[in-house]
Chain A
């Protein structure tokens, strides 16, 4: 079992729709959860982080965390073509040091 799992996609949504990206993790003691966006040929960029169960909203982005289910998600509202990228889920383990990345989900937003 991979430590951080994501559907590789591609996930294709029309412009203006909600894109839902999902991630599961295996370490039940994980404390911190991050979403990075990576455009093709570029390096990852942090867009959201969440530490507590529930929802966290920042503009068009909402991160959702359910520690009991070991599940974290990212919702992108009013998706734009500029949101087309690979979204990486990253999880920091119980020790508070090592961050493990998932393989990423490719998102395409069609104009």
Chain B
């Protein structure tokens, strides 16, 4: 079974530039998550999709971050414009819905450095 795929693995940009990350979940996983993990901290949920609908985006900085999941499969997360404090690893995860939603499978992550 293929795991969660993410790209790119690394990205270096300057502040005020834009960046986009892509995620393809495990086949059949209806729930998809984007997390931000700053060094030394646990993953912080940015947005959670159930199929192509948003379940939770309460911690997504909507003035600069956006995410979409067209057709209920892969997803993109965009930052525009980036700030220095956005430097982090962006993790995508997927899971089966409802009762098993906490059993999440993570992709390798994208390490973003904002200069």
Contact = CB atoms under 8 A, between A and B. Distances in A.
Give the size category of B's interface with A: 20 to 34
A43 B42 contact: no
A59 to B, nearest CB: 17
Given A34-B103, A90-B102, A92-B102, A97 B42 contact: no
Interface in A79-109: 88, 90, 92, 96-104
Contacts of A46: 103-105
A49 interface: yes
A102 B42 contact: yes
A32 B104 CA distance: 12
Contacts of B56: 97-98
Given A103-B40, A103-B41, A45 B101 contact: no
A44 interface: yes
Contacts of A49: 102-103
A44 B108 CA distance: 9
Question: Which of A8, A43, A45, A98 has most chain B Cβ within 10 Å?
Answer: A43
Contact of B109 (A43, A90, A102): A43
Interface in B9-39: 35
Interface in A39-74: 42-46, 49
26 contacts: A4-B42, A8-B40, A32-B99, A33-B102, A34-B102, A34-B103, A34-B104, A43-B91, A43-B106, A43-B109, A44-B43, A44-B91, A46-B103, A49-B103, A88-B42, A88-B43, A92-B101, A92-B102, A96-B99, A96-B101, A97-B48, A99-B45, A99-B104, A101-B35, A101-B43, A104-B41
Interface of B: 35, 40-45, 48, 55-56, 91, 98-99, 101-109
Given A98-B48, A103-B40, A103-B41, 19 more contacts: A4-B42, A32-B99, A34-B102, A34-B103, A43-B91, A43-B106, A44-B104, A44-B106, A46-B104, A46-B105, A49-B102, A49-B103, A96-B99, A98-B56, A99-B45, A99-B104, A101-B43, A101-B44, A102-B42
